[in-house]
């Protein structure tokens, strides 16, 4: 019985210590920042046309992984992919890009306006959430 009381008292002290240690007010998260990578991709595609596929995929990862951390990770795609499968998808994007480039650039140029419109619509619909 004494052991049970001692353990209960220890648990209470640890709980109170943990609560007391986290008395700082919560910090508001920084607002998300929109970054349009369309121009970076088109420039990259143009500048790396002469590289073989393996070199081009490596250059792509070197450039874009830091710009959009986690986006090209193997876990982001469901079901998860291997690095080789992800690299194959990146390589495939180089092959298909010429056929979609004009539309890609047109849509990319409008991202900012689309986001502004969506934010205004959200704020009008949910004024207390914005």
Upstream peptide bond of 110 is cis (omega within 30 degrees of 0): no
Residue 127 confidence (pLDDT):
83
Q: pTM score, two decimals? A: 0.66
Assign residue 70 a region: left if phi > 0, alpha if psi is -120 to 50, beta otherwise?
A: left
Report residue 26 as tokens: 């919560």
Q: Can you give the residue ranges of every domain in the chain?
A: 38-125
The per-residue pLDDT for range 1-55, each reduced to its tens digit, is 444 343 333 333 333 334 444 455 666 666 677 788 899 999 999 999 999 999 9
3-state secondary structure of 92: helix
As a whole number of angstroms, the distance between CA 88 and CA 90 comes to 5
Q: Please report the pLDDT score of residue 18 as a whole number.
A: 42
């Amino acid at each position: 019985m004494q052991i049970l009381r001692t353990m209960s008292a220890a648990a209470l002290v640890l709980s109170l210590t943990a609560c007391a240690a986290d008395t700082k007010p919560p910090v508001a998260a920084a607002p998300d920042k929109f970054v349009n990578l369309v121009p970076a991709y088109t420039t990259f595609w143009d500048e790396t046309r002469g590289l073989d596929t393996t070199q081009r995929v490596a250059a792509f990862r070197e450039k874009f992984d830091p710009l959009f951390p986690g986006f090209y990770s193997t876990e982001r795609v469901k079901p998860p992919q291997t690095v080789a499968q992800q690299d194959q998808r990146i390589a495939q994007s180089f092959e298909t890009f010429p056929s979609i480039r004009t539309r890609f650039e047109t849509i990319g140029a409008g991202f900012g306006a689309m986001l502004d419109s969506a934010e205004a619509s959200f704020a009008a619909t949910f004024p207390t959430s914005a």
